[in-house]
Amino acid sequence: MKVIKSNTLVILLLGAGHGLNDMIAGYFLGNLVQTRTGLLQISLGLFLYNLLAFGGQYPVAVLMEKIKTPKKFLLLAYGLNIGGLVFFRFDAQLSIVFAGVASAMYHVAGGTVCAEKNKAVNIGLFAAPGVAGLILGGYFAYEKIAVSSWLFIAAVLILGFIVLLPARENKLYEAPKNEPESNKKFQLDQHDLIMILLLTIISLRSVIWDIFQLIHQNNYSWLISIAAAAFAGKITGGWIADRIGWRLYTFIALGFATPLIAFFRNEIILFCIGIGLLQSSIPSTTALLIQSLKGKTERAIGLSFGTAIMAGAVLFYTPIRAVILSSIFVWITGVIMLLLLFFTYHKNLRSIL
Amino acid sequence: MNTFLLDAGIGLASNILWILLLILFAVILIEAVVMVLFKIGNFWKAFSHSSIVNIVSTIVGYILINQLDPLSGKISSLEQWLIFYWVTVVMEGLLMMLLFTHTSKSKLWLVTVVMNLVSYVFLYLLTLL
**For every residue of A75-96, which 3-state class applies, written as one string?**
HHHHHHHHHHHHHCCCCHHHHH
Q: Does A110 touch chain B (CB under 8 A)?
A: no
Q: Is A68 left (phi over 0), alpha (psi -120 to 50) or beta?
A: left
A2: distance to nearest CA of chain B, Å? Answer: 32
Taking the C-alpha atoms of residue A42 and residue B9, their distance in angstroms, rounded to an integer, is 14
Check CB contact under 8 Å for A25 and B9: yes
Q: Does A205 touch chain B (CB under 8 A)?
A: no
The reported pLDDT for the residue numbered B1 is 57
Q: Does B129 touch chain A (CB under 8 A)?
A: no
pLDDT at B67 over 90: no
Check CB contact under 8 Å for A52 and B2: no
| CA-to-CA dists, residue A87 to A28, A84, A90, A150, A227, angstroms | 11, 5, 5, 15, 29
Cβ proximity of A101 and A63 under 8 Å: no
Across the interface, of B12, B15, B63, the residue whose CB is closest to A46 is B12
Higher-confidence residue: B117 or A93? B117
Which is it for strands B3-5 and B10-12: parallel, antiparallel or unpaired? Answer: antiparallel
Q: What H or E segment, with its residue span, contains residue A292? A: helix A268-292
B59: distance to nearest CA of chain A, Å? Answer: 7
pLDDT at B28 over 80: yes
The residue-averaged pLDDT of B43-54 equals 91
The reported pLDDT for the residue numbered B101 is 86
The reported pLDDT for the residue numbered A35 is 73
Q: Does B126 touch chain A (CB under 8 A)?
A: no
Taking the C-alpha atoms of residue A116 and residue A134, their distance in angstroms, rounded to an integer, is 25
B36: distance to nearest CA of chain A, Å? Answer: 24
Residues of B in contact with A51 (CB under 8 A): 55
Check CB contact under 8 Å for A305 and B7: yes
Backbone angles phi, psi at A199, to 5 degrees: -65, -35
Q: What H or E segment, with its residue span, contains residue B12? A: strand B10-12
- Of A82, A77, A135, A137, residue with least CA distance to A110: A77
The residue of B1, B10, B51 whose CB has the most chain A CBs within 10 angstroms, and thus the best one to mutate to test that interface, is B10
Taking the C-alpha atoms of residue A94 and residue A88, their distance in angstroms, rounded to an integer, is 8
Across the interface, of B3, B7, B65, the residue whose CB is closest to A33 is B3
Check CB contact under 8 Å for B21 and A314: yes
Q: Does A48 touch chain B (CB under 8 A)?
A: yes
Highest mean pLDDT among B6-10, B13-17, B90-94 belongs to B90-94
Check CB contact under 8 Å for B62 and A49: no
Q: Nearest residue of B to residue A135 by CA position?
A: B5
pTM for the whole structure = 0.82
The reported pLDDT for the residue numbered A198 is 78
Which A residues 259-288 touch B at CB under 8 Å? 282
Residues of A in contact with B28 (CB under 8 A): none
The residue of B2, B5, B7 whose CB has the most chain A CBs within 10 angstroms, and thus the best one to mutate to test that interface, is B7
CA dihedral (A182, A185, A189, A195) in degrees, to 10, reads 90
The reported pLDDT for the residue numbered A179 is 42
A348: distance to nearest CA of chain B, Å? Answer: 31
Q: Is this prediction's ipTM beyond 0.85?
A: no
- Residue by residue, pLDDT tens for chain A (353 residues) are 455 557 888 999 999 999 999 999 999 988 888 775 677 778 888 888 988 998 899 899 989 988 888 999 999 999 999 999 999 888 888 999 999 999 999 999 999 999 888 889 999 999 999 888 988 898 888 888 889 999 999 999 999 999 988 766 555 444 444 444 444 444 445 667 777 777 777 777 777 776 666 666 666 777 788 889 989 999 999 999 999 988 889 888 888 888 888 888 778 889 889 889 988 989 998 998 888 887 788 998 988 888 888 887 777 767 676 676 677 777 787 888 888 877 776 555 544 44
